[in-house]
Amino acid sequence: MINPDNFKIKLTKEEKDILQGSQGETMQKILETVVCYGEALGAEKLVAINGYGHFVITYAIPGIAPSMEMLANLAASGLKAKYPFTLDPKPPLDFENWFLTAEQVKTLEQMYEDQERYDEIMLELGLRDTDACTCTPYLPEVGNIPKREDILAWSESACAIFANSVLGARTNRTGAIMDLLTNIVGKTPLSGLLTDDGRRAAWLIKVETEQLPLPQLLGAAIGKKVLADVPFIAGLDTFLGPGLNENTRDYLHEMGAACATAGAVGLYHVQNITPEAVDYGTNLLVPNHKTYIIEDRELDELLSSYPIPWPKEDALPEKCFIGCPHLSLQQLHWWTEKITGALQKENRDQLPVKTTICAAPQVLRAFQADGGTYELLKRTGAKFSVGCPMQIFDNDLSSGEAIVTNSNKLRAYTTARFFPDEELVDIITSGKIKEEH
């Protein structure tokens, strides 16, 4: 029997009762897990979650998902998240969009043999709808957009950092499984990024580049430097202008994804742009904060430090994955313009590199409804998917393939080679990588 008085965290009468079994054995175990998590974080108490969730646990494959036994047990107990939730992108089971061999398809089918049952359980546990799967839930077409100061327990590092930084909601970087458990309890420990103190910046990052830096490189440089601290970024408004607009939102969602991958950053402030930075300015910096200046040279060095992860370094690129994190509607238009323009210069109709472009189901539908632009991009041979390219690399599925990407997150976890957007356009339309690489 759990003795609630053994915990340092302050518990309400109801929480103590649950820990002693008032709402059944499963709920008791879930709350025990959340309370022990709170103890580890040094939280004073648990606080109520008051917004929709977003969780990373989309896949049925063991290793990155809760065990089926655990999920089945939760669903069988009649439990579900207090609020509906969205999930990360679906597994890449739309095989026709990924240029796969028969052997790769067979392996994926085996890896995801439980996916159908998994999806059913997720709906039982509170998944908003079957299409609510993307790493950009906060785009207007998808509509899981937290409000400022909402208390959340989000996972998916790219989403948690966006919710905190750009929307001003409050979430810690919740891990897979703990995301679901906290949202079933409807409470999360009051600690870290949920507190005013935890949201103050320990680093002043001065961006002193000649032009707007590539977001996925800038994010990686910042994450690597500050690790888990909160950075206050100055100088970006010179290029992006003040306040938030669609361009800035897209820039920040790419920068944040790279920042969270390279470090453990869950929140950044951008001077004159993000809501708390607009309201409080440099008062967000703690006394004796550290300063880090980022110039072009530093970002060039970071880019050239990435090893070539292909077995044959001078291989011609075979495949390209764009959209990790998922693209916005505006970004889909940008890629269409760039790709079709470059193909025209190359005197080609079709992309010589097999290219898959990923976006949320709702965003892709809006793009398709747009008609002309979608048809233009489709005619180049590019495929569209609502899935996640990361899982194409699980189980050594793509080992030996020369895959290129514009995603620094994908680069960090897989054998895909990273290139800046404009260079990637040249590569996939010419079929070649320029010699300086």
**Min CB(173)–other proteins separation in Å:** 5
Rg (CA), the chain: 22
Q: What is the DSSP string of 207-270?
A: E--SSPPPHHHHHHHHHHHHTTSPEEEESTHHHH-SS--HHHHHHHHHHHHHHHHHS-----EE
Q: Phi then psi for 315, rounded to 5 degrees?
A: -60, 150
Matching residue, tokens 């001065």: 206
Stretch that binds other proteins, among 27-35, 124-132, 248-256, 376-384 (CB under 8 A): 27-35
Pairing assessment for the beta strands 46-48 and 187-189 based on DSSP bridges: antiparallel
- Write the CB contacts of 140 (distance below 8 Å, at least 6 apart in sequence): none
**Min CB(33)–other proteins separation in Å:** 5
CA distances from 154 to 244, 266, 343 (A): 22, 11, 40
**Min CB(272)–other proteins separation in Å:** 29
Output the CA angle 344-346-352, nearest 5 degrees. Answer: 105
Q: Which of residues 224-283 bind other proteins (CB under 8 A)?
A: 227-228, 260-264, 266
Position among 10, 24, 25, 62 found at the interface with other proteins (CB under 8 A):
62
Q: Closest CB to other proteins among 214 and 410?
A: 410
At residue 275, the 3 state secondary structure works out as helix
Query: According to the binding rule CB under 8 A, does residue 219 interact with other proteins?
Result: no
SS3 content of the chain, % helix, strand, coil (to 5): 45, 15, 40
Position among 60, 65, 81, 427 found at the interface with other proteins (CB under 8 A):
65
Q: Closest CB to other proteins among 401 and 426?
A: 401
Here's the x/- map for other proteins, 41-60, by CB under 8 A: it reads as xx-------------xx---
Query: According to the binding rule CB under 8 A, does residue 66 interact with other proteins?
Result: yes
Q: Closest CB to other proteins among 182 and 355?
A: 182
Q: How far apart are CA 393 and CA 401, in angstroms?
A: 10
Q: What's the per-residue H, E or C state across 109-172?
A: HHHCCCHHHHHHHHHHHCECCCCCECCCCCCCCCCCCCCCCCEECCCCHHHHHHHHHCCCCEEC
Q: How far apart are CA 138 and CA 128, in angstroms?
A: 14
Query: According to the binding rule CB under 8 A, does residue 395 interact with other proteins?
Result: yes
Q: Which of residues 163-202 bind other proteins (CB under 8 A)?
A: 172-179, 181, 191-192
Q: Closest CB to other proteins among 71 and 205?
A: 71
Q: Closest CB to other proteins among 384 and 393?
A: 393
**Min CB(246)–other proteins separation in Å:** 26
Q: Closest CB to other proteins among 266 and 387?
A: 266
Let me know: does 54 contact 87? Beta carbons within 8 Å. yes
Let me know: does 137 contact 84? Beta carbons within 8 Å. no
Query: According to the binding rule CB under 8 A, does residue 431 interact with other proteins?
Result: no
Here's the x/- map for other proteins, 340-379, by CB under 8 A: it reads as ----------------------------------------
Q: Closest CB to other proteins among 65 and 234?
A: 65
Residue 427's closest CA among 347, 366, 371, 351? Answer: 351
| Cβ density class 14-40: b for 16+ within 10 Å, e for less | ebbebbeeebeebbbbbbbebbebbee
Q: Which two tokens stand for residue 226?
A: 């500050």
Query: According to the binding rule CB under 8 A, does residue 396 interact with other proteins?
Result: yes
Beta bridge partners of residue 171, listed in sequence order: 152
Position among 16, 23, 32, 195 found at the interface with other proteins (CB under 8 A):
32
**Min CB(70)–other proteins separation in Å:** 6
Position among 309, 381, 420, 431 found at the interface with other proteins (CB under 8 A):
309
Q: Closest CB to other proteins among 32 and 131?
A: 32
Q: Closest CB to other proteins among 183 and 209?
A: 183
The site for other proteins (CB under 8 A) is made up of 29, 32-33, 36-37, 40-42, 56-57, 61-67, 70, 155-157, 160, 172-179, 181, 191-192, 227-228, 260-264, 266, 307, 309, 394-396, 409, 412-413
